[in-house]
A and B are shown apart, each in its own frame.
Chain A
Amino acid sequence: MGHMTTAGIHGRATRLRRDRSDRVVAGVCAAIARELGIDPVILRVAFIGAAVAGGAGILLYAVAWLLIPSAGTGDEVRARAADPGGARPWRIAAGLGMLVLALLLVSRRVGFLFSDVLVWPVVLAAAGAGLIWYRSASGRPRGTAAGTGGRARQRLIPLTPGRIALGAGLVVGAVTVFLLSLGVVSGVRDTLLWALALTVALALVLTPVLWRLAATLAEERAERIRTQERAEVAAHLHDSVLQTLALMQRQADDPRAVATLARRQERELRAWLWGGPGEEGPARFGAALEAAAAEVEAAHGVPIDVVTVGDRELDTRTAALVAAAREAMVNAAKFAAPGPVSVFAEAADGGLEVFVRDRGPGFDPAAVPAGRYGLRDSVVGRMARHGGTASVHSGPDGTEVELLLPGEAR
C-alpha cells in the first residue's frame, strides 16, 4: 500500500494523468496502472481491500484523485496551464492532510498505536504547512504544461497573505489542540511554554516564505547586475571598437593607417578584457613599460611586442628605466620599420633588465656622432645617472639595446 502511495505522488512529476475514458470512479487506478504497466483491475482490488481494512484505501484514493491531474480535454489542459494558480494550493493542502491521516490510520492498523491526541493535530498541521510550503520550497512550478514556456516567473503561484494566514492558523491551532489535549498546558501561568511552542510552529511555517522572499530579492539583484554589466560592455564597445571601425572604413585606402588603428584597438581591447593594470594601487613598472610601448607604436606605426616577467613598483629609478627603454623603442621603430620590435623585461634578484630588439639593417654604435643620436644621451646617459648600464649590440640581423638596472645597494 505504502509503495503504491509513493508511486502515485511521485508520478505527479511524470506524465501521470487520469484518463476519463477508462475509469470506474475517477480513473485513479487506471492512471497508476498505466504508469506501472500493470492491469488496473489488480489495483482496484487492492484499493477495495485497503478500504475495507480501516478505511485507509478510501483516503488514499481521495489523495490520488486530488494529486493526479486529469488528462481532460485539450481545452481543459490549456486552461489549467494558463491559470496554474487556480485551486491547486487548496488541493495540495487537503491532499497532504489526507495523506498524513491515511498513513496514521494504516500504521494504527498495522500495530503502531497513535492516539487521536496526536493524529488530528498532525493532520491539521500538515494541511496548514502544505498550504504554505507548496511552491515555497522549490519556487518552480511543476506539472504545468511545458508548452506555455516563456514567462517562467509569471507562472509562480503568488503566496497570498490569506493563504499564509490560514496556513499559519491551522498549524498554530494544531499545536494548541495538541498541547491542550496532552494536558501539558493547563493555565495562564504556562504562558511561556505557550509562547515558545507557538514561536517554533510559526518559525517552521514562515521559513519558506522568508526563504522565497530572499531568493526573489537575490534574483532581482543578480538581474540588475547583469543588466548593468551588459550596459557597461555595450558602452565600452561603442566608445572603442565601433569608433575604430568607423575610422578604419574612412581610411580604407591607407593600409598602414588601418593596421595602426587595428593594432591600437587590439591592444586597448586586450587590456580591457584581460584586465591589465587597474587604476588603483601604486603604479607598476610593467604597466608603464607597456604604456610606453603603446605610445611609440601609435606614433611610429611599428608593432612593438612587450613581454614582461616579474614586476616592480614604479619609482624614480624604474621610471628612468622606462624612459630609457622608450627612447630605445623610438630608435628601433625609426630604423627597423616595418618589422616588429621585441621588448623583454625581467625583474630578478632585485635588479631589472630590459632588452629592446629590432630587425633593422644594424649600424655601428661607435660611429654615431656625439650629440646627434638619441641613444647616447637619453639611453646610455640616463641609465648611468641612475646607477644602471646600457649597451648596444648591432649586427646584420638587427640591433639590441640592453638596459640593466641593478637592485638598490642602500
Chain B
Amino acid sequence: MSGPRVVIVDDHALFRAGVRAELEGAVAVVGEAGGVEEAVARVLEVEPDVVLLDVHMPGGGGVEVIRQVALARPPTRFLALSVSDAPEDVIAVVRAGARGYVTKTISGADLAEAIRRVHEGDAVFSPRLAGFVLDAFAGALPDGPVDDALDQLTAREREVLRHIARGYLYKEIASRLGISVKTVEAHVSAVLKKLQLSTRHELSRWAVERRLVE
C-alpha cells in the first residue's frame, strides 16, 4: 500500500472503521486510537506522516493530543476532523498546530486528497474555515502593537479564501485567478501561519471560548 501513513484518532469506533474503509487504497492506515492517551502512545509508537484527529474527545480533545505529540515528535502533521462548525473549536485546534480542518461529512476521495495535501506540508481549509478566517480578519485591527505581517490578510489571500468559501477547488481557483496551484497553496499556508500566530482579538477569544462537547 502506498501513500502517506495515517493514524486515525476518534472516540467513535464506528467512525474510525468507516473512515478506514473509505481511505482503503489511497493512504496507508497504520493505526487507530480512541482517546487522548492512546492516541499519543500510538502516534509515538508507529510514527505516522499524518494524524487524522477528531476535535471532540473526552480528556481534552484533539488539542491535547497535538500538544503532547508536538513536544515529543514535532514533525507529525495533523488534519482535524469534526462534526462541529463552531469557530471556537476549529480555531482552537488549528492554533494548537493542526494544518487543516475538514468536517466529517467530507467524501472519502476529498479526505484522501486533504491528507495528501497535509502530508506535503500544505494547509487544508474547508469552506467554513475559510469563512471563519475571513470573519476573524475582517474586524478592526487589534489595539496595541500591530504586526502587519500577521494581523492582516493580503488582498490576494482574501481572494483565495473567498473562493474556497464559495466551494472552489485549488486548481479551479488557480485558473480563475491566473496563478499556479502551487501559488494558491502558498497563499493558504501563509494564511494558516497567520491564523496560528496572530494575536487578533477574535482569534484569541475563540481559542479561549472553546467549548468541547464530549
Contacts and interface: CB of A to CB of B under 8 A. Distances in A.
Interface of A: 266, 270, 273-274, 303, 305, 307-310, 340, 342, 344, 346, 348, 355, 357, 397, 400
Given A274-B84, A307-B131, A348-B138, A397 B166 contact: no
Interface in B119-139: 127-128, 130-131, 134-135, 138
Nearest to B135: A309
Contacts of B130: 307
Interface string B74-85: 000000000111
Nearest to A308: B131
21 contacts: A270-B84, A270-B85, A274-B84, A274-B86, A303-B105, A305-B167, A307-B127, A309-B131, A309-B165, A342-B127, A342-B165, A342-B166, A342-B167, A344-B131, A344-B162, A344-B165, A344-B166, A346-B165, A348-B138, A357-B167, A357-B168
A256 B145 CA distance: 54
B172 interface: yes
Given A274-B84, A346-B165, 7 more contacts: A273-B213, A309-B138, A310-B135, A342-B166, A344-B166, A355-B166, A357-B167
Contacts of B172: 397
A305 B128 contact: yes
B92 to A, nearest CB: 14
A357 B128 contact: no
A250 B12 CA distance: 25
A209 B160 CA distance: 65
Contacts of B84: 270, 273-274
Contacts of B168: 357
Contacts, number: 46
A164 to B, nearest CB: 44
Contacts of A348: 138
Contact of A400 (B105, B134, B166): B166
Interface of B: 83-86, 105, 127-128, 130-131, 134-135, 138, 162, 165-168, 172, 213
A63 B116 CA distance: 73
A310 B135 CA distance: 6
Nearest to B86: A274
B213 A309 contact: no
The 6 closest A-B pairs by CB, nearest first: A342-B167, A307-B131, A344-B166, A274-B86, A309-B134, A344-B165
B119 to A, nearest CB: 25
B200 to A, nearest CB: 15
A340 to B, nearest CB: 8
- Among A266, A274, A309, A340, residue most surrounded by chain B Cβ atoms (within 10 Å): A309
B138 A310 contact: yes
B134 A357 contact: no
B30 to A, nearest CB: 31
B95 to A, nearest CB: 19
A357 B165 CA distance: 11
A307 B126 CA distance: 10
Contacts of A309: 131, 134-135, 138, 165
